[in-house]
Amino acid sequence: MTMVQRTTFDQFWRQHGAYVQPIGGVKIDVEGHENSVLRGTKVFRKNQRPKLVMFEYLERTDILQALETFHHVGYTRFELSAAGPRAVTEQLLRSKTCLRVQES
């Protein structure tokens, strides 16, 4: 059996961040585990401030919790719609759409 180590992005960044060029965008695609990933990137998002963090989410994802993690680190939240991006409102928080989060 092969053992695979796991870590959070924040832990990885603490160990290897000095060797990595600045990151301007992050795409998260983890099939329903977005909140776990977002919790593990809190320090990175707060300190490194990537310009764009994008993710899709499934029905089982608590989107309110996911979006709150961005609010706590000072991001403006946007929904991608056919008409283009628009700021997330309480009404949009209750809908099930793909969201984009951009630095304020």
CA distances from 17 to 4, 47, 86 (A): 21, 12, 32
Each residue's pLDDT tens digit, 73-104: 888 888 777 888 888 866 666 665 545 555 55
Cross-strand pairs, 85: 80
**In the structure, what pLDDT confidence band is assigned to residue 68 with cuts at 50, 70 and 90?**
confident
Sign for the CA dihedral angle at 51, 95, 39, 30 comes to: negative
With a cut of 90, say whether residue 58 has pLDDT above it.
Answer: no
- The span from the CA of 40 to the CA of 52, in Å, is 17
- The span from the CA of 16 to the CA of 61, in Å, is 29
**In the structure, what pLDDT confidence band is assigned to residue 31 with cuts at 50, 70 and 90?**
confident
* Confidence at residue 70, expressed as pLDDT on a 0 to 100 scale: 86
* Confidence at residue 104, expressed as pLDDT on a 0 to 100 scale: 52
**Predicted TM-score of the model (pTM):** 0.72
- The span from the CA of 93 to the CA of 77, in Å, is 10
